[in-house]
Amino acid sequence: MNLLSRSASYSDGDRLDVAGASVRLKVNRRARRVSLRLDRTRREIVATAPSLRRLPEAAAFARSRAAWIAERLAELPRAEALRPGMLIEVFGRPVRLEAGAGRARWIEPADGSTPRIAAMGEGEGFTRAVILVIRKKAAEVLGARTAHYAAALGAPTPKVTVADARSRWGSCRPGPRGTPGAVRYSWRLALAPFEVADYVAAHECAHLLELNHGPRFWAHVRNLVGDERPHRAWLRAEGARLHAFGR
């Protein structure tokens, strides 16, 4: 998908440059009109049209709103480069980043003081090494919470993986009756408070029994973690910040 000129024909998913910002064109046949919105998770502007035929109208509308686009993108949390000495939070715990030799690793002091992540490299190399450690911690913690909630629901423990998904915090694929399924999480949940990440684990495990968001599904979630609304609100408010981390 290349940046497009005004005379180009448009396809669903194409991108165009509006005053230095990348705008993604999207066809949504349920839409009633052309519109613009900020996707805070993907950190991009989406220009939506009800049909392929009206994508040029969506492109023209986006170009006419260059100032609005610049203002919305400026509101996004700024990505901050990771560096030794920085204090971050992992599952709600303060964690200190430090330069270290050898393989990047999580250090849990015996005296109970602040955990550390030691990693080699500078700039992007240091960032990649730190993120690798956080991903491993995410797999460890979310795997344990998934096993806990699957057992509480009487379901086989699913296979757990972590990835850098931008559209969902988690997804669940139940297995055939009585067999383990699979649950996938965004590793960036490790940057959220433990209670928020724990809610997502309960949410995905509830899908092992209910492949919907109906009353029985939410009853399972609330039996596991109580009122889910504060956790969902936190993710809506802070999700963009989590997705900016390390970028």
Would the pTM of this model clear 0.85, i.e. be above it?
Answer: no
Q: Note every long-range contact of 39-46, with CB atoms under 8 Å and residues 24 or more positions apart, other chains counting.
A: 40/76, 40/239, 40/240, 40/243, 41/166, 41/167, 41/239, 41/240, 41/243, 42/166, 42/167, 42/243, 43/73, 43/76, 43/240, 43/243, 43/244, 43/247, 45/18, 45/21, 45/69, 45/72, 45/73
CATH code of domain 87-244: 3.30.2010.10
Give the integer Cα–Cα distance in Å for 91 and 102.
25
Q: Count CB-CB contacts under 10 A for residue 240.
A: 17
Q: How confident is the model at residue 201 (pLDDT cuts 50, 70, 90)?
A: very high
pLDDT, position 6? 45
Label each residue of 200-227 as H, E or C: HHHHHHHCCCCCCCCHHHHHHHHHHHCC
- Each residue of 125-156: pLDDT tens digit? 999 999 999 999 999 999 999 999 999 999 99
* Spans of all domains in the chain: 3-74, 87-244
- Each residue of 63-99: pLDDT tens digit? 999 999 998 888 888 777 899 999 999 999 999 999 9
